[in-house]
Structures are given as C-alpha cells and as structure tokens.
Structure 1
C-alpha cells in the first residue's frame, strides 16, 4: 500500500466520522420530549401512516440535505455506524433498566417484606429524600431510553434516505428484526 493510499484511507475515515458527528447532532436526546409536542413525526403516530410525518420532521429534512451527494460507500459505512450505535445503545439501556430499576425495586420489596414497619418509618422520617432519590433513579433510565429512541430515529432516517436513493441494504444486520 502506498503512502497516497494510506492518506486517502485516513481522509475517508475522517470524512466518515465528521459526517457521523454532524448527523447525530441533528438528533439530540434532550430534545426528544419537547419535540414530541410539535414535530410532524410526533403527530404522525395516529393512524396507519407513521412515515409521512417522519419524513417531514426538520431533523429528517436536514439529514437528507447533509447526505445529499454522499457516495454509496460512505453512506453504507455511515449506516453501519448508526446500526452499531443502536445495538450498543440497546445494550446500555437494558443494563441501566436492570441496574437502576429492577435491583432497587427488588431491594425495597424485600425490605418491605422483611421489615415493613421499619421501612415505612424510614420513608416517613424523610419522604423528600426518598422521593428525590426515586426521581433520580428514574431519570437515568429515562435519559438512556431517550438516547436509544434517538439512535433508532437516525437508523430510520437512514433507511428513508436509502429507500429514496434506490439503494439496497448493505448488510444482513440492517435487515434483522429488533
């Protein structure tokens, strides 16, 4: 491999990762809840057609603009990154749900069973701390689930772009059912 080929490969990688950064910036997890009140895609979750509103979302439109003119190989690599991201997001969301919800609720249930009166006394002694702690425990999973939702939106947008470009799926992983 020549130095020029190595430099070209490095440039392609830099372009791909730059494209990934710009694409994911269009889908911030923090904006999921506010955008669920005003985007066409959110209002499109009624009836049979869940795609037309999704296609009219500002983030979808900007994604189409961002990827206009991107060659098929770069698009395929970007799609593979997005699909890998979803799988990793899913793994983390499952771990967080188990770690932040299942385990603490199991401990509380066991404590209530073994020492119900003591547990109720502890809760009554400082309900603000208990409910504040419960809220914090609930926020972490909500944050991870929002991030998972957004990562799946990115894959959905890339699927729309792929369909409109007339491009076949790149790998069997992209075709698999969740």
Structure 2
C-alpha cells in the first residue's frame, strides 16, 4: 500500500497532510545533502554555541515555512506526526544497517581466518585492490542510511522551529 492509498480519507479523497508531507520531504532530499555542507547557512552554524540561527536561514527551512504558513493547526500536527514517525523508522533502519555492517563482516572475517589461518594474510595481499573496492562499495550502504536519517531528523527540527514560531505568534 503506497502513501496515496494510506492517506485516503473515508470518501476516497487524499488527506491534506500527505500532499504537504510529499512537498515537504522534497525540500530535504538525500542527494542534496553532501553539496549542502558547503553552501548553506546551517552548515556554517555548526561552529560555536548557536546551531539554530543558520538552520533557520537555510533555503530549505525557509521554503518549509512558506509551505506550511497558512496550514491549520490540525493539518500541521498531522504533518509533524508523519515526520516524527518517518524519523523513528529511519532510525530503526539505520540501526539495523549499522549493526549488520559491524557484526557480519567481523564474524565472516573471524570465520575465514579460522578456516584459512596463515593463508588469510597472503590472500588479502594478493587481492588488496579488490578488497578495497569491495569495502568502499559496501560502505555506501551505511552512508546512505546515515544521510537519510540526518535528513529525516532535519525535517523534524524544521517542524519544531515552525511550531515554536507559530506558538509565539499566537
């Protein structure tokens, strides 16, 4: 069941929170994470004590504010709940991937070392380049999940900023 089917109300019409969720998450794509390290005010804000001012000035944060500016409290709460649920699910997956990447290679290496014994060192020396390519290829998985998790948490943070400012205006 996709998000559209999951987000349909009893009358078959999509709930507004799902439309807003899709638009909001598009502002925080995983592919733009690495380049954003170098040009966003939020990335410069990771020095010192204030991690919020730069975060608030990010273009993606400003677009999220604009997107949710006129949204009623109930719909905003639903979008915030979707973001929180997404962040929890991202965290679960990231933990599973990290644990797997930490335990499986160590277990396999120990098993191969037990079977091959002294021949393991020569096997590694003979296939050093292939081993490095394999290790780098396998590292892409956890890095991708870490980036997705970061972005999911970033969405939650932006929604917290929006809620703070909405409450302050009320």
- Bin of the TM-score, shorter chain as denominator length: 0.7 to 0.9
The residue aligned with 1:123 is: 124
Closer/same/farther in 2, CA of residues 139 and 6 from structure 1, 3 Å limit: closer
Of stretches 116-125 and 39-48 in structure 1, the one that deviates more from structure 2 is 116-125
Deviant stretches of 4+, over 3 Å: 109-116
The residue aligned with 2:33 is: 32
The runs of 5 or more residues in structure 2 that have no matched partner are: 1-8
The residue aligned with 2:161 is: 160
Counterparts of 2:135 and 2:121 in 1: how far apart (Å)? 15
Counterparts of 2:107 and 2:18 in 1: how far apart (Å)? 42
The runs of 5 or more residues in structure 1 that have no matched partner are: 168-178
Length, aligned pairs only: 160
Query: Is the 8 Å Cα contact of residues 41 and 54 (structure 1) preserved in structure 2?
Result: yes
Counterparts of 1:68 and 1:46 in 2: how far apart (Å)? 30
Counterparts of 1:143 and 1:101 in 2: how far apart (Å)? 16
Closer/same/farther in 2, CA of residues 40 and 116 from structure 1, 3 Å limit: farther
Q: TM-score, normalised by structure 1?
A: 0.83
Counterparts of 2:166 and 2:72 in 1: how far apart (Å)? 11
The residue aligned with 2:91 is: 90
Q: TM-score, normalised by structure 2?
A: 0.87
Q: Secondary structure at the match of 1:154?
A: helix
Q: How does 1:1-178 map to 2 (within 5 A)?
A: 6-7=10-11, 10-11=12-13, 13=15, 15-112=16-113, 115-166=116-167
Counterparts of 1:23 and 1:101 in 2: how far apart (Å)? 33
Shift of 1:116: 4.5
Counterparts of 2:13 and 2:69 in 1: how far apart (Å)? 19
> Superposition RMSD on alpha carbons, in Å?
1.8
Counterparts of 1:118 and 1:73 in 2: how far apart (Å)? 65
Shift of 1:28: 0.8
